[in-house]
Structure 1
């Protein structure tokens, strides 16, 4: 393969979350998402697409910063370089830009997409899979009172049958919220909770005690990201712990393994810096017996497609904990010509090359 990177283009997108599904958690209210779409063009006229999930409160990155960094540093470093191996291009990005994993992930995804399209195979195949052709998924529920009832009704209307409840906002209210959801969904529905690091250790212990009656399947990020001993302490209470905000890099994952701090890690394409790196982290976690799921930062269809391909390429994907490949379910519109094949219970892998998705024609015209 002699193709080289010929150009990198970007386009900004900002979408409001569907009102019925607005997420309210310990890290704030997520009612709008800003994205930077990325297009890589090769000298063989193959295009690849990626997506920067740019939520400043979560990642410290936004569409403006991502666009500036890509145009000023990243594009000059990779344009003219051979497309293969993609890992070398990721290393070049690291040499000109520190941190900013979500920005790098958008470019990395576009590079991997172009690589797989050039081969004529789905990205999951280019990554060494697939080990499965569908992934179980769940949706986040948040709010109280009538709003919570509305959110659940909307989620069920979309076909979702597994959920996690946003907590970390005050133990008494958290327990009451979970109790209400359990009453609404019944005893047999999969239900976890996500504190987004919003509890202290003492609050987490009290919350776990209060939640036992409602049969929660896991507690996600119960304490602050840096408090790995706190994660381990909550595990010792007998409830499965999912680490999310604690795991961005391979070094973070190593610390989780060393402290025996989690039963499962929630990996993002954005946190990891791209599909290949997310896959490597997930496979390493599996070696140490830690479950892996694909978590969400409210991705659009391109980002969700990347999640799906990585999930299918993983040697082991959690059978206990559904992933969060929710794509455009949170938004009133999609950025894709054709959405992912999802019924709310599972999302299915297609056979098309690369990510298998194409942005809407009106969005393609916005790339610069």
Structure 2
């Protein structure tokens, strides 16, 4: 395996001044897998991702297929940082996590939540294209019935409502005691207006896409458009860059995943473990949406008693072979790595 490296430092801090690996090194170390999902999520039934066996441990590069190269480059930077640089010091050995409930029919809620052991918090997807607010209400109501009065429910609209729709929806769903509403509208200005309109309800507004997909991820905080931010290690360019966003925003943070294998979840867990404060359960339990994983049996980072450990999983070569992507998809991902690696030199 070629260990040669070229290029600039991965990060901006002294403890992350590892040179960028060469393209040849990345391609030699990469494995492309395609893992089926047991529940349709983000319109996908199979999740494709790339893994690298880096000098510091296994790491993951898994931007969604529709993302352009410029956006995917941040994900590659994060993968390189986690696989080639020392991780920041951690403050906690395990992370409380929430269950994630896709926009399923109400009669399927119990089956989906049964995959999550001991999670006291559920993030419910709402505002799904082709569905109605009535569908959302039924889904959230069923979730509350299962959790009981002490469980925590947060809803995530992925920017699917305008301000009026969001205000109406929050009023309809407020009876279920929402912990917060995540990215109800797409634009920062809309979030700020909605936050002002629903302030009296005492339901916080969280920003996700307005952080991870923004040229300026702190703009939402400066605009007073959110009460907390959702951060994801890969989209923000790595653990250190995500920590810098939290520090500059000055808002509570929820660490979440991007539908990753246990290798990618480990990156998010190390981010959550390194933050000075962690007031909310984190969205790092999405491995439960997969039909399988890339690590050995019993080593997946799935919740046990509502928590996952902070550790570095090792990919299992039998699993890598079982879920190996087709040759044409491997070529597609190799070409993507080639293009995005070139962008990191700019």
Partner of 2:10: none
The CA deviation at 1:364 is 6.6
Counterparts of 1:348 and 1:181, CA distance in 2? 26
Partner of 1:53: 62
Counterparts of 2:209 and 2:281, CA distance in 1? 18
The CA deviation at 1:341 is 7.1
Partner of 2:84: 114
The CA deviation at 1:327 is 5.1
Counterparts of 1:39 and 1:314, CA distance in 2? 25
Runs of 4+ in 1 over 6 A off after TM superposition: 1-4, 364-368
The CA deviation at 1:330 is 1.7
Counterparts of 2:212 and 2:302, CA distance in 1? 28
> Structure 1, unaligned stretches of length 5 or more?
41-45, 62-97, 117-122, 351-355
Counterparts of 1:185 and 1:242, CA distance in 2? 22
Partner of 1:105: 75
Counterparts of 1:176 and 1:328, CA distance in 2? 25
1:172 aligns with 2:134: yes
The CA deviation at 1:218 is 0.5
Name which of 266, 269, 272 aligns with 2:230: 266
1:361 aligns with 2:331: no
Q: Tell me, what secondary structure is at the counterpart of 2:218?
A: helix
Counterparts of 1:344 and 1:178, CA distance in 2? 22
Q: Tell me, what secondary structure is at the counterpart of 1:54?
A: coil
Give a deviation string over 1:97-153, Cα, whole Å, max 9, x none: x7234x44345434433332xxxxxx2xxx1x3222222110111311322232233
Counterparts of 2:169 and 2:18, CA distance in 1? 55
Q: Tell me, what secondary structure is at the counterpart of 1:333?
A: coil
* Counterparts in 2 of 1:363 and 1:274: CA distance versus 1, 3 Å: farther
Aligned residues of 2:79 and 2:234 also touching (Cα < 8 A): no
TM-score, length of structure 2 as denominator length: 0.76
Aligned residues of 1:282 and 1:292 also touching (Cα < 8 A): yes
Alignment RMSD (CA, Å): 2.7
Aligned residues of 1:167 and 1:194 also touching (Cα < 8 A): yes
> Structure 2, unaligned stretches of length 5 or more?
1-14, 325-329, 335-346
Aligned residues of 1:164 and 1:192 also touching (Cα < 8 A): yes
1:294 aligns with 2:294: no
Aligned residues of 1:253 and 1:281 also touching (Cα < 8 A): yes
